């Protein structure tokens, strides 16, 4: 398994824990690393994903809500919601990661850790969000701007 995939899986576990137990992000990270071992690069990338997702949680949730017809965040399974939050963080704030990589990783995690419908559910929401990004960027005809400026 690749370093980034492992880091995403760690991030998913910690984000899930934070959502379920309402524990502080730093406490959740410390608790995880006190019980599990991983290479330094996995720790570094997963910590970036976890802290970044939590730091921008309100904006991320707004993006998800804007693309999830008939699904409130409260109705979403916690695993799916955690995967979506992580993926939206990557799409919006991690410009060094190609969007298609983020989409594929999120769908794969949904299939591995969610229900039998999670992969398609996650794909639908992220595809709608990515389409919005592309349309917004095409209409502005600006290259290299923030992926979500005025979305």
Which homologous superfamily is 3-140 in? Answer: NusB-like (1.10.940.10)
| Alpha-carbon distances, residue 130 vs 43, 80, 88, 97, 107 (angstroms) | 28, 17, 9, 14, 14
What's the token pair of residue 22?
Answer: 């309402």
Threshold 0.75, pTM exceeds: yes
CA distance 123 to 132: 14
Summarised one tens digit per residue, pLDDT across range 97-135 is 999 999 999 999 999 999 999 999 999 999 999 988 877
Summarised one tens digit per residue, pLDDT across range 55-84 is 999 999 999 999 988 888 999 999 999 999
């Amino acid at each position: 398994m690749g370093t980034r995939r492992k880091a995403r899986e760690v991030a998913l576990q910690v984000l899930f824990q934070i959502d379920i137990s309402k524990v502080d992000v730093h406490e959740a990270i410390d608790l995880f690393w006190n019980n599990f071992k991983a290479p330094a690069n996995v720790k570094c990338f997963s910590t970036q994903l976890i802290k970044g997702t939590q730091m921008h949680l309100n904006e991320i949730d707004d993006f998800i809500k804007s693309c999830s017809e008939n699904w409130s965040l409260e109705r979403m399974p916690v695993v799916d919601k955690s995967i979506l939050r992580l993926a939206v963080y990557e799409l919006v704030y991690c410009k060094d990661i190609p969007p298609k990589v983020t989409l594929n990783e999120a769908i794969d995690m949904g299939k591995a850790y969610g229900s039998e419908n999670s992969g398609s559910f996650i794909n639908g929401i992220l595809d709608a969000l990515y389409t919005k990004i592309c349309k917004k960027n095409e209409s502005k005809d600006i290259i290299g701007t923030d992926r979500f400026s005025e979305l």
